[in-house]
Structure 1
């Protein structure tokens, strides 16, 4: 379950881009996990947020997420599978609606120059 959230959150700030750039993709080994179940576990979700923010320890999946998130943002998740894009949208909506403070902190850290927000017309 932890690994699934890591992959889902990997694209948290990434858009639902329509085409993949090149043949290289992120791993799809976590695509069959129940996203709703993962988002319903506050303890796990908060652990990943702390990992991403640098205020908590990271699991191996969290470290991978932290490494890939900047690329996912820069490329609008172009290396994500269709399932990852759908799940990312679900995660983004969940964070925006239920964890607005944490969502803003993640945006501020991983989109410091506001490029992602500008591309996707996101207001703070």
Structure 2
């Protein structure tokens, strides 16, 4: 399955708000995704935020707000960096945190519409 919820992890890639050119802002695109993935505490905090089981940072709140739009638009407003980083995060979660990945899919893609779009 290809990354159906790439936007879920754009916060890790630095996604915040929509920029005037109809793309999500790139101001956080320099976030080191590998450091986030290597830090269980930080990664767990983002996952808890997305699942509404813990507090959110401002970026986490913005992510939850933008997630439905990003899913509907197939991440059309994501920058190239956000797309690459999102795929890296999704691949990591699928390989190392499958339980959390499946919970995110259930929450943010309950009907499997976007998963089906990216299955291969």
Which TM bucket (shorter chain)? 0.7 to 0.9
- Supply the distance in 2 between the matched residues of 1:34 and 1:59 (Cα, whole angstroms): 17
Q: 1:5 to 1:80 in 2, by over 3 A?
A: closer
Give the Å deviation of 1:48.
Answer: 0.7
Q: Is the 8 A contact 1:5 1:38 kept in 2?
A: no
* Alpha-carbon distance in structure 1 between the residues aligned to 2:89 and 2:75: 14
The superposition leaves residues 25-64 of structure 1 with CA deviations (integer Å, 9 ceiling, x where unpaired) of 0010011121111111110111111111011111111100
Structure 1 segments (4+ residues) deviating >4 Å? none
- 1:6 matched to 2:11? The reply is yes
Kept in 2, the 8 Å contact 1:5–1:35? The answer is no
Distance 1:6-1:72 versus aligned 2 partners, 3 A rule: same
1:9, distance to aligned residue in structure 2 (A): 8.1
Say whether the 8 Å CA contact 1:5–1:45 is kept in structure 2: no
TM-score when normalising by structure 1 = 0.80
Instruction: State the 1:6 CA deviation.
Output: 2.1
CA contact (8 A) 2:12 2:33 kept: no
Number of aligned pairs?
107
- RMSD, aligned α-carbons: 1.9
Aligned with 2:31 (options 25, 30, 33): 33
2:69 counterpart of 1:71: yes
TM-score w.r.t. the length of structure 2 is 0.82
